[in-house]
Amino acid sequence: MFFRSLLLIAAALALGSGVIGPARASDFILVASTTSTENSGLFGHLLPTFEKQAGFEVRVIAVGTGAALQYGRRCDADVVMVHAPEAEEEFVAAGYGLERHSLMHNDFIIVGPESDPAGIAELDSAAKALARIAEARVPFVSRGDDSGTHKKELRLWEASGIEWAAAAGSWYREAGAGMGQTLNIVSAMDGYTLADRGTWLSFGNRGRMTTLVEGDPALFNPYGVIRVNERRCPNVKSEMAQAFIDWLLSDEGQQRIADFRIAGQPLFTPHRQP
């Protein structure tokens, strides 16, 4: 709620100075979402259309999934839009959010240097690829930020049977950063990482990196959207938040998601084909 209060004060000051014209401090909602949805450019594609129709602004707080859910728990967001279904269901079960709605999906991929020193390119299993990276002791950079991507990575390490934590600080590195920053680090190190396809397709600093492992069903990456529970958080702008969710789930919103492409490639697949 502290974060929301700061935004309201800033908006009120801007109004007093004439910076934002006739808009009121209440004419927006806060959406806590992932760096993947922001870095990919998805919100830049979706929001102008919605805001023109709705008559209010959507302000995005782009953080990892764990942090986005914390914004919801602290009543500092009206909507959360993230990609860690188990954590999302826990958020709803604890009463912080209302129903989780399946919104869209893409997939994770393992990217690394074209030279592929660990020899993972021919593998169809992400867990086996991680085991081979560990065996080769070549750099692997984790986001290390409790994001949905980080949560998925840890499940894949568990499936690989590798004690990754014992290698922390040697070949296993933690960036503690978003996907774009992590990819920059990987590019500089000629290392490997797990990335969401949306951010990867929009990433411009690939250097010698390429996609090496994809298509494993374990790499499926679903996104959900949840309205923060106004019974827990009386400050939630529930009608505006629900209007945004309803639009995302509508034929128009789902079509806008389907239409979002980079170099002809779709970054996300809507949950329901419009």
Token pair listed for 9: 């004060």
Tell me what pLDDT residue 263 has: 85
What proportion of the chain, given as a percentage, has pLDDT over 70? 90
Classify residue 229 by its DSSP letter.
P
The tokens of 118 are what? 């660990």
Domains in the chain and their CATH numbers? 2-105+221-270 (3.40.190.10), 108-219 (3.40.190.10)
How high does pLDDT run on average in the chain?
90
Report residue 232 as tokens. Answer: 């827990």
CA distance 105 to 225: 12
Res 26: pLDDT: 66
Q: How far apart are CA 248 and CA 252, in angstroms?
A: 8
- Residue ranges in the chain whose pLDDT is less than 50: 2, 5-24
What pLDDT score was predicted for residue 168? 86
Helices (H), ranges, 84-227: 85-93, 126-136, 148-160, 179-189, 197-202
- Whether the CB-CB separation of 77 and 31 falls below 8 Å is answered with yes
Which of the 8 DSSP states describes residue 235?
T
Tokens at 164, concatenated: 């990754």
Do residues 221 and 83 make contact, with C-beta atoms less than 8 angstroms apart? yes
| The predicted structure's pLDDT at residue 167 | 87
